[in-house]
Chains A and B, each alone.
Chain A
């Protein structure tokens, strides 16, 4: 198992965000974590990364317990949701800096070329547009060779061409047997990429399975409606 989560609880103030998550994530697959806004997707991801400290529960990543450890993060590539970098630094300096900090072999040249970032290398990050920043973000994530990749809203701000490249990249990494976790609100993207769906609702895993299983269970005509149906069923249950 790449990731094992047992009985995970997290509360922010009065807001109970995660209410006992149990989850095993196997190797070599693409998992999509879905759920309405505020359902705990990012909190779950950040708990795996050790950025959020759980109130209760146990997480292991590649057989190593996450608590009070930081070296396991060498095995994770993480794409954060909002790419906001130090403003005074140039793109190539940032890439160099992350390489320096991680101290592992990297393959940024191809990625820079793929996303056409060449002309931006000498520019300061504060002068870049949102989409270009996201491309830099993607380069920073994919330039390392780690067995686990976590992408939080990877499609934000990307133009169609870059989106195609991103999809190719993800599939290439999958072909190498890597485990990939994605959150996204773009259902078309999820449908195309994901092998398994994890649907979070109010801090619990509400559905877990493949897209086919999801369609069967909800009886909806397509994936987008099936995901929407998951939310609606729950709302009805609450109303009654």
Chain B
């Protein structure tokens, strides 16, 4: 598996798109820091950008990589290599290189700016950690979509729909249900609903660490009570982790059954 990972990774870090992605974060990081002159505010703006962008890039990149390397995967499948090693290697290669682009692209400007001396370092690391989680989650989901769909157009369609649903539609439904059922106690419901969407979960996690939960009103207080504590933090990290593991297991299962 490590060999496949190595080659996928090399293949990707030499592709133009990885550089574009890396440069985008690099520029974004510099621009935000030097326009804002405030690390905390920069982190919030960054959060708004990456929470939507990472899942989108993750799904698109994942689907694209899978379809582009399909014939090569067939070549590998005929080699004496275990099936799951091939797909795990490719998956880790894609998500690893995307996560690296993110961490380096944002990390470099922040380190240059003097983040290491600032007290926003924890918020910032949290941003990078959740960003990396999101990368792994969405690349995993996109691999499952791609492996289940021979038809590239369909695969792309489903991947974009998945992103659209989790990044936009889900929030809409969530808000609407909050309004419709406002007569009822919704604490548990909103907590659970947040947990079920990795994008929302990451957003809340970062927002609450940034101490701006007062902006969130009453619900925010409940969230603060839960996510703000160490236990809540651990639980949400565990759920993010679960969100990462489940697609990997699904991918293993799909890969075992699939005909090439």
What residues make up the interface of A, taking CB atoms closer than 8 Å to B?
Answer: 10, 12, 46, 49-53, 70-74, 76, 78, 80, 82-89, 97-98, 100-102, 140
| A52 contacts B82, C-beta separation under 8 Å | no
> How many angstroms between the C-alpha atoms of A78 and B83 in the bound complex?
16
What residues make up the interface of B, taking CB atoms closer than 8 Å to A?
Answer: 3-4, 7, 10-11, 14-15, 68-72, 74-83, 257-260
A-B contact pairs, 22 of them (CB 8 A): A46-B260, A50-B77, A51-B77, A51-B78, A51-B259, A52-B260, A70-B82, A71-B80, A73-B81, A76-B78, A83-B71, A84-B71, A85-B75, A86-B7, A86-B69, A86-B72, A98-B75, A98-B79, A100-B3, A101-B81, A102-B79, A102-B80
Find the residue from B74, B80, B260 having the highest chain A CB count within 10 A. Answer: B80
CB-CB under 8 A for A78 and B78, given A46-B260, A52-B259, A85-B72: yes
B260 to chain A, nearest CB (A): 4
CB-CB under 8 A for A82 and B7, given A49-B77, A101-B76, A102-B79: no
> How many angstroms between the C-alpha atoms of A87 and B15 in the bound complex?
9
Residues in A with CB closer than 8 Å to B15 are 88
| B80 contacts A80, C-beta separation under 8 Å | no
Partner of B83, one of A70, A71, A98, A140: A70
| B79 contacts A73, C-beta separation under 8 Å | yes
> How many angstroms between the C-alpha atoms of A86 and B7 in the bound complex?
10
B66 to chain A, nearest CB (A): 13
| A70 contacts B80, C-beta separation under 8 Å | yes
| B71 contacts A97, C-beta separation under 8 Å | no
> How many angstroms between the C-alpha atoms of A76 and B78 in the bound complex?
8
A127 to chain B, nearest CB (A): 14
* Other 8 A-B pairs with CB < 8 A, given A50-B77, A86-B69, A88-B15: A52-B260, A74-B80, A76-B78, A87-B68, A89-B7, A98-B75, A98-B79, A101-B3
Residues in A with CB closer than 8 Å to B76 are 101
> How many angstroms between the C-alpha atoms of A12 and B72 in the bound complex?
22
Which DSSP category, helix, strand, loop or mixed, fits chain B's interface? helix
User: B84 — nearest CB in chain A belongs to which residue?
Assistant: A70
A67 to chain B, nearest CB (A): 12
Residues in B with CB closer than 8 Å to A98 are 75, 79
Residues in A with CB closer than 8 Å to B4 are 101
B128 to chain A, nearest CB (A): 27
| B260 contacts A97, C-beta separation under 8 Å | no
Partner of A70, one of B10, B14, B81, B260: B81
- Rank and list the top 8 A-B pairs by shortest CB-CB distance, nearest first: A84-B71, A78-B78, A73-B80, A74-B80, A51-B260, A52-B259, A51-B77, A88-B14
